[in-house]
A = this chain, B = another copy of it.
Amino acid sequence: MRIAVVAPSCRLTEEAAEAVRAIVARRGDCELVVHPQSFLSDGHFAGPDEVRLAALREVMADPSFDAVWFARGGYGSNRIAEAAMTDLPSTARGKLYLGYSDAGFLHAGFHTAGLDVAWGPMPQDVLRDGGEVAVHRALDWIVRRDPAALEPALEGPSMAFNLTVLSNLLGTPLEPDFSGVDLLIEDIGEHLYRIDRSMFHVTASPAIRKVRRIRLGRVADVLPNDPAFACDETAIVESWCRRSGIQFGGRADIGHDARNRVVPFPARND
């Protein structure tokens, strides 16, 4: 089991890479290859678009890798996602692509292109409080599809997205087919009025109205609202579900934290 790490958004820190390498060495059940691109820096990004794209396409095409693990989120994978899903080599199939947050742009496009993607912890998470557990959870899923890594209440086909990322990919060529899926959402570092606005946008989308239901993960580090917003994130999401006729499926065990669980996207039948 060979796993490639690349950084389509922001750069991986050396400290995180060392910690993950040490975990992998102790496990002894897989080989980790951190692409040098992961450590590049170009303003906000882990290298210029062309360099991030080239590294991503290189590991996608390499038949020796069984999985591609996105190093971290941040922002930037949307800038290369459409090019990354174009003219796919056959060797890009049969691999698992794992990550979350900004990687949702890739998840959406790659799922649309017929690749095998999953929401789950990333290498940079090792530096979070309790992050070693999150890295083991991701590796348990990558290496042996351990059901204990999964979000515990998954029922049928599911997808997971950061709400703000989801809002920003609707209507783009990355938009996947949401028909009949349980849609798990979470967010971090937003004001509640922005959560409300994103829910307005997302639940008004005809594509999103095809979901079976929406489940809400954690909404962390909410920024202050002045005056107070008057209701919490659960009430916001329930309210927009009710207004749009989408079933609300309760809370979900995903978020920007060490407890974040794995959500494999549905297998494609085509």
Contacts and interface: CB of A to CB of B under 8 A. Distances in A.
Interface of A: 41-44, 75-76, 78-79, 167-173, 192-193, 196-198, 200-201, 204-207, 225, 227-231
Q: Is the interface of A mostly helix, strand, loop or mixed?
A: loop
A43 B229 contact: yes
Given A170-B171, A171-B204, A171-B206, A43 B197 contact: no
Given A193-B75, A196-B75, A197-B75, A225 B44 contact: yes
B44 A172 contact: no
Contacts of A207: 171
A235 to B, nearest CB: 11
Copies in the assembly, this chain: 2
Contacts of A169: 201
Contact of A168 (B192, B200, B227): B200
Contact of A230 (B42, B204, B205): B42
16 contacts: A42-B230, A43-B227, A43-B228, A44-B225, A44-B230, A76-B193, A78-B197, A79-B200, A168-B198, A169-B201, A170-B171, A170-B201, A171-B201, A171-B204, A171-B207, A172-B200
Nearest to A207: B171
A207 B205 CA distance: 14
A43 B231 contact: yes
A130 B268 CA distance: 59
A251 to B, nearest CB: 23
Contacts of A79: 196, 200
A168 B171 CA distance: 11
B227 A44 contact: yes
A200 B230 contact: no
A196 B9 CA distance: 13
Contacts of A201: 167-172
A171 B198 CA distance: 12
A41 B230 CA distance: 11
A170 B170 contact: yes
A168 B197 contact: yes
A40 to B, nearest CB: 12
Nearest to A206: B171
Given A75-B193, A78-B200, A197-B78, A43 B230 contact: yes
A75 B198 CA distance: 12
B225 A193 contact: no
Nearest to A105: B200
